[in-house]
Amino acid sequence: MAADLPTPDVHSPGQTDGRWSGRWVLLAIFLVGLLLAGGNVWFQRQQTRRAARFWGPEAARTIAQSGDITLYLLGAPQPEGISSQEIRSAQWLEAGGKRYPILATRDVSRLGGITHLRRALVLDHFYASTAPQPYRGPWRFALLFRRQGQEALVLCDDTLQHVGRRDGMSLKVLLVEGRRSLLAAVLAELLRRDAALREKWQQVKKGDFHPLPTPAPGKGDSGSASGPAELPKNESPPDRK
């Protein structure tokens, strides 16, 4: 009768090497995942580095993560010497040393495309250039972003090709296929759906919209109001070279 074969030792060197090989594979997979995650974080920071510097770190987070967004349609900046009666009758926004009457407000938190827009505003590739430039023309729209007690204001011009801060510094928006920007597409959708806002916008473009009411005859400039209602002011971050 043939002798029985010996039972293999469960702790033989061959099986021990196999267990260590499996551990090395798992460790390698973990390290690759860690490197990919780190690379993704680095890539995202590089994508937002210059835009976030322009808006400021806190304002950039507020813009990108806000769920409470209000749009303001602005009139032509008003000259010096407006009577106090007229000032008390309107809301104002001050930017770049100019005072703009607020003609209309809209909650655009759920507007189609607004999520893509708020995220794009803090990405470098949303802009044709990330070198801030002073903007001399009038602002026409303002977007106020709110999040956890923080606020950030983004100003937009007539052409919807420039966005800026209160201090008058701006960035030029990149046009898609040389035609229009995501900003223009989102606002065009709002104007398409909101007939009243569209009518005011068209009047503003023609220059025949007069937001300030004429004081009632026989009434002076005295009154109980203490001053104009204005949007909250945010400090603009210093530009870094």
pLDDT for residue 235: 44
Summarize the confidence of residues 110-130 as an average pLDDT.
91
- Decide if 219 is inside a domain: no
Residue 201 lies in a domain: yes
**Percentages helix, strand, coil for the chain, rounded to the nearest 5?**
40, 25, 40
pLDDT of residue 159: 87
Q: Which of 19-33, 86-100, 156-170, 177-191 has the lowest mean pLDDT?
A: 19-33
pLDDT (0 to 100) of residue 17: 56
Mean pLDDT of the chain: 74
Residue 221 has pLDDT above 60, yes or no: no
pLDDT-derived band at 79 (thresholds 50, 70, 90) equals low
Q: What is the pLDDT of residues 126-184, one digit of tens each?
A: 999 889 999 988 999 999 999 999 999 999 998 889 999 999 999 999 887 667 788 88
In a domain, 120, yes or no: yes
pTM for the whole structure: 0.67
pLDDT score for 117: 93
Q: What number of other Cβ atoms are within 10 A of residue 179's Cβ?
A: 8
Concatenating the DSSP letter of every residue in 116-128 gives HHHHHTT-GGGEE
Residue 113 tokens read as 């495309």
Q: What is the pLDDT of residue 42?
A: 42
Has residue 241 been placed in a domain?
A: no
Rounded CA gap, 72 and 221, in Å? 27
Does residue 87 carry a pLDDT above 80? no
141: Cβ contacts below 8 Å, ≥ 6 apart: 71, 72, 73, 74, 155, 156, 160, 187
Q: What is the pLDDT of residue 49?
A: 78
Q: Which of 33-37, 48-52, 71-75 has the least mean pLDDT? A: 33-37
At residue 214, the pLDDT reads 34
- As a whole number of angstroms, the distance between CA 142 and CA 30 comes to 46
Most confident stretch, 6-10, 117-121, 174-178: 117-121
Residue 237 lies in a domain: no
Q: Is residue 37 part of a domain?
A: no
Please give the pLDDT value at position 13.
53
The DSSP secondary-structure symbol of 176 reads: B
| Assigned domain for 206 exists | yes
Interacting residues of 49 by C-beta distance below 8 A, sequence separation 6+: 124
Q: Calculate the alpha carbon distances from 226 to 89, 93, 126 in Å.
A: 12, 17, 42
SS3 (DSSP) at 193: helix
Please state, in angstroms and as integers, the Cα–Cα distance from residue 221 to each residue in 89, 117, 151, following that order. Answer: 11, 43, 33
| Owning domain of residue 140 | 45-211
Structural tokens at position 179: 């035609």
Q: Identify whether 103 is part of a domain.
A: yes
* More confident call, 78 vs 123: 123
Overall number of domains in the chain: 1
Dihedral sign of CA atoms 227, 207, 184, 95 in order: negative
